[in-house]
Structure formats: C-alpha cells, structure tokens
Amino acid sequence: MWSLFGWTVGDYSGVLSVFAAPQQCSIEGFRQLLNVECDTAIVAANLIGVCGFVVIMCICIVVIKRRYALHFTTRFDI
C-alpha cells in the first residue's frame, strides 16, 4: 500500500522524513511582528478578527437603527 504513495524503501524510513519536516507558521509575518510563538499568533489573529467583526456589526446596527428611526419620525411627524 505504501508504494502507492511513492515510498519504496523497505523499512519505510522515508515516511518519517516527510512528517519530520519543520513546519512554518501560516501567519509568519504576523508572528514575527508580535515576536511570539505560532499558536499565540494564531490566537491573537482570531481575537482581532472576532473583535473586528463585532465592531462592524455594532456599527451596522447603529446605522440601520438611525435610518429606521429617521424614516419613521419624518414620515409620521404631525
């Protein structure tokens, strides 16, 4: 079965070399900017993303609420 993946070494030592390769962080530039480990940079990026989303949603709600209130106060103003 392993020969389907291209590992033709009899003792399958080639399999370990594939998984032992050093992995680079997916957000390496941001990690270097913060000078932290990759896991911490990913948590920080997710936190920034979620907080940004919440801020944008709050702004949208305020804008929609003001437009709704303005629409009905000018429409039914007696």
Residue 68 structural domain: 28-78
Q: Is residue 35 part of a domain?
A: yes
pLDDT exceeds 70 at position 6: no
Q: Is residue 12 part of a domain?
A: no
The pTM score is: 0.60
- State residue 1's pLDDT score: 46
Q: What is the pLDDT of residues 23-38, one digit of tens each?
A: 789 999 999 999 999 9
Number of domains in the chain: 1
Tokens 């007696």 appear where? Answer: 78
Tokens encoding 38: 């990759």
Q: Is residue 8 part of a domain?
A: no
